[in-house]
Structure 1
Amino acid sequence: MSFHSPSLPVADRYALTNATLPAVTVDGFEAPQKEGLVAADIVIANGIIEAILPSGTAPADLPAANLDEGMVWPCFADMHTHLDKGHIWPRSPNPTGDFMGALSSVRADREAHWNAADVRARMEFALKCAYAHGTKLIRTHLDSLAPQHRISFEVFSEVRDAWAGKVDLQAVALFPFDEIDNEAFFKDLVEVVVAHKGLLGGVTRMEGALDNGLDLLFRTAADNGLDIDLHVDETQEKEVLTLKSIAEAKLRNRFEGAVTVGHCCSLARQDADVAKYTIDKVAEAGISVVSLPMCNMYLQDREPGRTPHYRGVTMLKELAAAGVATAVSSDNTRDPFYAYGDLDAVEVFREAVRILHLDHPLDDAARVVTRSPAEILGRPDIGRIAAGLPADLVLFSARRWSEFLSRPQADRIVMRNGMGIDRSLPDYRDLDPLMMD
């Protein structure tokens, strides 16, 4: 079989031979590594990975696809997205490209357009893109100011059910943290989150007293068996120390659920001793951190007529070195917070390598869009290659990191349950009816 053919062997049991795998994504198999890559054959039976074998040792009588050293990855996990905002740029652009412009544009678009049909159509479009690119697990934040929380969570539950088995979905309630003091609103929001099996989230305030609100958030989550995923310190102002407060609050409240924080941009601007204290507290508290490098670089340190001085991303390497679970993710897609993107984890990974310097060496870099986010989201069955797991794989012609990171890998093959899928992407024209005022 030529790699570029979309056809895989038509057989219940077959092999992918002469493959190159990122070792960090593989369980139960060891082989000599070069830049964190290993050579292997993969035996697939009835849609399940039966065995991972040394290259050249697959049974000779099996139908086989010779990948000619092409890479094989597990399907991806994208743990911080905004499916409800996606693809509104044509009708609600952000003229300034900055954070305040994004807030204003999204607010106006939400108030004018976000009925159930609009949200559902854009979510479906985004999921078609993610699925075609090879993503299997997505967590989305949903704007949850009343009455939008009831509209969007209802739609989300319907979409989650419809996409079950193709893309597994989780949802987080996103709201301005000041609203936690609004007792009626917060009580209703929690009821909605519990009913739809979601998570508590929020955009934490960047100034003022935090402790009371954080204590209420942790108590409420504990009382209702909910995990927490927060937007934190999305600013270049070094005085903003919300991440530290969240770590201290988790410890103070002895919260046993999972806590994830995203962005944490100001951490990289702080004095070394301040940053180290915060990182140590985050590690002690067992909080996971997701960086959104494309969106953070787009929004942070943007001023008219001036080249940005800072990359806008958090201290991902230092956090990981301290034992913090870390990952990277897409964040926004074609909306006022990020004008670009397609929920393609390969693009996210490629840009993360550049922006965060995940290279030299690249040995374990592949984890940040595969097993690490899947583990953080409580799905260790996703984002890895192992005997007994579904053959949900992404096949690339690229053989080495230099090849992989230098092209968009548009010729990839996505396999689900051992079979290649139709990778046709939806046409942007499909959204045209939604863009007409």
Structure 2
Amino acid sequence: MQTHGAAPVPAQLLVRDALLADRNGPVDLLVGDGRFTRVGPLDAREVATARAQGARVVEAAGRLVVPPFVDAHMHLDSALTLDPADPNRSGTLGEGIAVWSRRRARLTGKQILANAREVLRWMVAAGTLHVRCHVDVSPGAPDALSALLELRDEARGVCDVQLVAFPQDGLYREPGQREALRAAMARGCDAVGGIPHHEPTPAQGEAHVRDVFDIAQEFDADVDAHCDETDDPGSRFAVSMAREAAERGWQGRVVLGHCTAMAAYDAALLGEVAARLADSGVGVVANPMVNAVLQGRNDAAPVRRGMAPIAALREAGVTVALGQDSVLDAWLPLGVGDMLAVAQFGALFGHLTGHQQLAGMLDLVTGSGARLLRLDDRYGIAEGRPADFVLLDARDPIEALRLLPARLHVFRHGHEIARSSPARARLTGPFAPGEVVFGRDR
């Protein structure tokens, strides 16, 4: 029971007979000093030693253990701000922005913090321990950044919150926008956001892209921009972002959110853009729930789906992850922050229902998200890495996607931080009475 040749570490936790998505057959997980010290079958002597050292024993009993879920695109500052008296009646992105502009004018930092904290609690309970949160830092916005900086500190050690300075109103519509973006980075944001397609003219959109990279270079920060969030196939700022990433040496440090215009590209254009993104090391985050709500609103039949083409992007070598984006706000009147539910919806909405495609959806809310957030060796079920993981009441990734099962245990650094009870039902009438089990072969 050692880690990388180090002295023996006393066992802290032992998970027995777990299944992992990338391994055949059950394994045991041994944890010491908050890290995985063994990932693999243990013999009887090793199990006895762990028990003698006082390790807590969790019986997985053939259930699936996954690394923590990663929400690669979230807006916690707008969470729980849905106002039935002032809804987004058209369901469009534009009206959502207008509704949010009115709503944010009535919010206080205290309200934003309370709302964001509550939704983050939901997310942790569902096994999400890494989230990248876009914060509206426009001069007309309330001081959401102070609230989210406080929440980031509160959650430290339980859930890692990365903050993106997001210029919701653009950089050229009103004076002071670029300065506000710089000021937000100086206050401690982790990444520079952007929204080039929202500028009044294409030329200003191109200037917006350059400004974002100028600020990123100034602060040596990653870039995570809303990009081409429109149904217009002429919106191609993803190409501009890829060009800047390559020219400035920012490969692997740029993420583009939404990219819904790609759903309207023809096959040749999509192939060209996807290749540019892959060559420049630019990742994409699709947000299937909010994309389904906002896109195609002005289409006559047939109505476009309007989600970034996940399969084509991945085939081209682009790293793609998923985000919840919104919970009960001007853009999405639903949501609970459950990334398995986001993956399930993304599979259905994106026609990703072949066996291998379904099995691969789990990676979009775990490993791929971790790569885009550059978590590196701080993430994953491997010896020597932090013992962060979720035990699901499911036997394999596809069953997890189908059932959206209970998160039986959520662990961070080997300590349990959340638990749920298995969902059970019982028929009590004359037809086949007894317990109902929704899993197969149980």
Question: Is the 2:167–2:177 Cα contact (8 Å) retained in structure 1?
Answer: no
- Equivalent pairs counted in the alignment come to 400
- Residue number in structure 2 paired with 1:21: 20
**Distance change (3 Å), C-alpha of 1:77 and 1:358:** farther
- Residue number in structure 2 paired with 1:331: 325
- Residue number in structure 1 paired with 2:89: 95
Deviation at 1:94, TM superposition (A): 2.0
Residue among 277, 289, 310 paired with 2:284: 289
Question: Is the 1:39–1:55 Cα contact (8 Å) retained in structure 2?
Answer: no
Q: Which runs of 5+ in 1 are unaligned?
A: 1-10, 24-30, 33-37, 426-437
Rounded Cα–Cα distance in structure 1 between residues aligned with 2:43 and 2:307 = 42
Q: Relative contact order, CA 8 A, sep 6+: which one is greater?
A: 1
Deviation at 1:180, TM superposition (A): 4.4
Residue among 243, 246, 255 paired with 1:251: 246
Deviation at 1:176, TM superposition (A): 4.5
Rounded Cα–Cα distance in structure 1 between residues aligned with 2:250 and 2:124 = 34
Secondary structure (helix, strand or coil) at the match of 2:148 reads helix
- Establish whether residue 352 from structure 1 lines up as the match of residue 364 from structure 2: no
Q: Which amino acid aligns with 2:363?
A: R
Residue among 81, 84, 103 paired with 1:109: 103
- Aligned residue runs from structure 1 range 24-423, under 5 A: 31-32=23-24, 38-54=25-41, 59-61=46-48, 62-63=50-51, 64-91=57-84, 92-113=86-107, 115-148=108-141, 151-176=143-168, 178-180=170-172, 184-205=176-197, 208-209=202-203, 210-255=205-250, 258-302=253-297, 309-356=303-350, 357=352, 359-361=354-356, 362-410=358-406, 412-423=408-419
Question: Is the 1:77–1:373 Cα contact (8 Å) retained in structure 2?
Answer: yes
Question: Is the 2:206–2:237 Cα contact (8 Å) retained in structure 1?
Answer: no
**Distance change (3 Å), C-alpha of 1:276 and 1:177:** farther
Q: Percent identity?
A: 26
**Distance change (3 Å), C-alpha of 1:21 and 1:378:** same
Question: Is the 1:72–1:393 Cα contact (8 Å) retained in structure 2?
Answer: yes
Deviation at 1:373, TM superposition (A): 1.1
Q: Which amino acid aligns with 1:343?
A: G
Question: Is the 2:73–2:323 Cα contact (8 Å) retained in structure 1?
Answer: yes
Question: Is the 1:222–1:257 Cα contact (8 Å) retained in structure 2?
Answer: no
**Distance change (3 Å), C-alpha of 1:105 and 1:17:** same
- TM-score, normalized by length of structure 2? 0.83
Q: Which moved more, 1:191-200 or 1:222-231?
A: 191-200
Deviation at 1:381, TM superposition (A): 3.4
Secondary structure (helix, strand or coil) at the match of 2:97 reads helix
Secondary structure (helix, strand or coil) at the match of 1:104 reads helix
Question: Is the 2:96–2:331 Cα contact (8 Å) retained in structure 1?
Answer: yes
Rounded Cα–Cα distance in structure 2 between residues aligned with 1:81 and 1:105 = 18
Rounded Cα–Cα distance in structure 2 between residues aligned with 1:414 and 1:255 = 34
**Distance change (3 Å), C-alpha of 1:169 and 1:58:** farther
Q: Which amino acid aligns with 1:198?
A: D
Question: Is the 2:19–2:65 Cα contact (8 Å) retained in structure 1?
Answer: yes
**Distance change (3 Å), C-alpha of 1:365 and 1:188:** closer
CA RMSD of aligned residues (A): 2.6
Rounded Cα–Cα distance in structure 1 between residues aligned with 2:385 and 2:66 = 13
Deviation at 1:382, TM superposition (A): 4.5
**Distance change (3 Å), C-alpha of 1:418 and 1:110:** same
Deviation at 1:147, TM superposition (A): 4.5
Rounded Cα–Cα distance in structure 1 between residues aligned with 2:211 and 2:92 = 31
Q: Which moved more, 1:199-208 or 1:323-332?
A: 199-208
Secondary structure (helix, strand or coil) at the match of 1:341 reads coil
Question: Is the 1:154–1:196 Cα contact (8 Å) retained in structure 2?
Answer: no
Rounded Cα–Cα distance in structure 1 between residues aligned with 2:64 and 2:248 = 45
Question: Is the 1:80–1:141 Cα contact (8 Å) retained in structure 2?
Answer: yes
Q: Which moved more, 1:42-51 or 1:280-289?
A: 42-51
**Distance change (3 Å), C-alpha of 1:380 and 1:254:** closer
Q: Which moved more, 1:289-298 or 1:58-67?
A: 58-67
Rounded Cα–Cα distance in structure 1 between residues aligned with 2:34 and 2:252 = 34
Rounded Cα–Cα distance in structure 2 between residues aligned with 1:212 and 1:100 = 22
Q: Which amino acid aligns with 2:393?
A: S
Question: Is the 1:211–1:249 Cα contact (8 Å) retained in structure 2?
Answer: no
Secondary structure (helix, strand or coil) at the match of 1:261 reads strand
**Distance change (3 Å), C-alpha of 1:90 and 1:416:** same
Deviations 1:375-424 (A, max 9, x none): 21121235411112232211112113443222221353212232333448
Rounded Cα–Cα distance in structure 1 between residues aligned with 2:410 and 2:284 = 28
Rounded Cα–Cα distance in structure 2 between residues aligned with 1:217 and 1:60 = 53
Rounded Cα–Cα distance in structure 2 between residues aligned with 1:162 and 1:174 = 21
Rounded Cα–Cα distance in structure 2 between residues aligned with 1:97 and 1:212 = 29
- Residue number in structure 2 paired with 1:431: none
Q: Which amino acid aligns with 2:64?
A: M
Secondary structure (helix, strand or coil) at the match of 1:336 reads coil
